[in-house]
Amino acid sequence: MQMTNQLPITNYQTAETLIGLVSQYSPSGQEHGAVEWLVSRMKALGYDDAFVDAAGNAVGVMGQGPRQVVLLGHIDTVPGEIPAQIVAEHAPPLLYGRGSVDAKGPLACFVDAVAQVGVKDGWQFVVIGAIEEERDSDGARFVADEYKPDFAIIGEPNQWDRVALGYKGSAWANVTVRREQAHTASGEETAAEAAVEVWLKVKAYVEAFNADKPKAFDKLLLTLRGMESDSDDFEQWARLKVGVRLPVEVSPEAWYETLNEPLKVSKTFRGLVEPTGFAIPAWACEKNTKLVRAFLNGIRSQGGEPRFVYKTGTADLNIVAPVWRCPSVVYGPGDSALDHTPNEHIDLEDYRRAVKVLSAVLSKLADD
C-alpha cells in the first residue's frame, strides 16, 4: 500500500480492516486471496468462527444465540487495479483503491462493527463477504438457502447517513426477427428494418409507461446495447440486445411478454425473445421495522440526519430478500457515484462514522 506524506499505518488503526481488504485486489473470479485475508482478519478480531464456505465466500460468526442478523457484503470488484493509497493531505484522509467504495468499504464496516459489539446474549451475528456480485451473484445465491435470519443488512455504498430501501430489478434479452429472403427491388421490409420498428414500438411503450411516474425507481429504464444483422441465400435476420431496469410492479416475466407483443402482429417476419443471464425482480424493503428505526437512531447518534434512498441499480438484496422475507436494509459508507471509476476512494472519517452507526444498530437490536 502506498501513502502520501509517509504517515505510518498506526495513524489509521480504526480503518485497518478497510485498508487491508482494499489492498487485496479481487475482481470477480479472483477473490480467493481477499477471502483468505478477510477470514484471517476476522479470527484476529476475535470472531467465534471464521471460514471459507462451499461457495468460496468469507464467513465470520460472532455469538451462538437463536436469533440471527446476517450482514451480507461482497468482496469482489470490477476489473481495473487501483493500488491502495491514503491521501493524507486531505482532511479527513481519503483512501483510494479498487473496491474502497464498491463494496469493500461496507463489508469492512460490517466486520469492524461486529467486532466492536462482540457477543450479545441470545444473538448471532454472521458477516459474509460474498463472491461474484459483479457478475451473477453466485455467493449470494448460495447463502440465500443457507441462512434464515431475523434481520438482514446488505452492504452497498450509500453514504454513512443514508439507508437504502430498494433496488431495481433487471432483465436482458436478445430479440431476433427473421424473414425469407426478398429481392432488394421488391420494396418489402427487411429484417433489419423490422427490428428497428420493433425497437421503436418497445421504446414508445416504455415512454408511455413512464409518463406519469416522476421517480426513477418506479420507471422502466430501457437500454439498447447492441444490434447485428446478416443473411444467407434464403433468409434474413436481425438481432437487438435489449436491457431494462425494472420497477417493483413489473416482473421479468411481464417484461418478456411486453417484448413479445410487437413480434406477434407481423405477417412477413418471425420473431423470438431469448432471455439472457439471470433475470432479477426489483425489491423494496418495508420501511416501518425495528431494523429501520435502529438505523435512524444510530445515524442520529453520530450527528447525522437520516435519509432514505431507492437505487436504480441491482444488488444482492434482490437475491436474498425474497427468500429470507425478514426486515432488511442496505447500508454502507462511500459515495456510489464513485463506483467502478478510476477515481474510486472513500473518506476515512465517514467510514469511522459508519462503523459507529452500525455498532449502535446491532447493540440496539440485541439489547431491545
Which cell is 313 given?
441499480
Is 102 labeled as catalytic in the residue annotation? no
Which cell is 225 given?
446495447
H or E element at residue 68: strand 67-74
> Taking a C-beta distance cutoff of 8 angstroms, is the pair 322, 283 a contact?
yes
Sheet bearing 345-347, strands edge to edge: 2-3, 85-87, 94-96, 345-347
Catalytic residue from among 31, 76, 161, 344:
76
Rounded alpha-carbon distances, angstroms, from residue 192 to 196, 272, 340: 6, 14, 34
DSSP class per residue in 116-128: HH---TTEEEEEE
Distance (Å, whole) CA 159 – CA 351: 9
Kindly report the backbone phi and psi dihedral angles of residue 145, in degrees, each rounded to the nearest multiple of 5, phi listed first: -95, 0
Closest to 83 in 3D by CA, of 168, 24, 132, 9: 24
Q: Which residues pair with 243 in a beta bridge?
A: 172, 223
Closest to 69 in 3D by CA, of 150, 163, 155: 150
Catalytic residue from among 31, 112, 132, 133:
133
Is 132 labeled as catalytic in the residue annotation? no
Q: What does DSSP assign to residue 50?
A: E
Active site residues: 76, 133
